[in-house]
Structure 1
């Protein structure tokens, strides 16, 4: 008898993490996803366009 596994997927809002979540679900396993924003780009003097994890990226991860 197959037992379903559980996976925690770190979501960036990008293709790789989204695909990992989809494949995990399609395999019949339980998928829980999480996206973290640990700092504001402006606080570390990096423009939003140069890094990942903008608010838009977090919203993309949520939509997935």
Structure 2
């Protein structure tokens, strides 16, 4: 199989899983493009796990393994499709898991539409 002509867009978080995935795909001959999804406005002062720090990690990894990388802003999609759902469910006395809706509506819908 000739992978050199095949392009793969990898959603990168700056963490180990997506970084290693990008590296392995590149080593197999794929043209790999890293995309960081910014899902939250980190303009608050908490400084906990900010998108800016995550993006810096993506940039370091992408530069190290030699792939292009981009940042895509999905804040509106996250707010509309995930956070509003979370708040509505919470108001009903339920304990929703925002990761389920994020995977369905942002990571596997908005991201694929973008890619």
Structure 2 length-normalised TM: 0.44
SS of 2:37's partner is coil
RMSD: 1.9
Q: Gapped runs of 5+ residues in structure 1? A: none
Structure 1 length-normalised TM: 0.74
C-alpha separation between the residues in 1 aligned to 2:33 and 2:12? 10
Shift of 1:54: 2.5
Which has the larger helix fraction? 2
Q: In the alignment, which residue of structure 1 is the partner of 2:2?
A: 2
Q: Gapped runs of 5+ residues in structure 2? A: 62-115
Q: Which consecutive segments of 4 or more residues in structure 1 shift more than 6 A?
A: none
C-alpha separation between the residues in 2 aligned to 1:2 and 1:15? 27
C-alpha separation between the residues in 2 aligned to 1:17 and 1:3? 19
Within 5 A, what are the aligned runs for 1:1-64? 2-4=2-4, 5-41=6-42, 42=44, 47-49=46-48, 54-64=51-61
Larger deviation: 53-62 or 14-23? 53-62
C-alpha separation between the residues in 1 aligned to 2:40 and 2:25? 29
**Residues matched between the structures, number:** 58
SS of 1:39's partner is coil
SS of 1:35's partner is strand
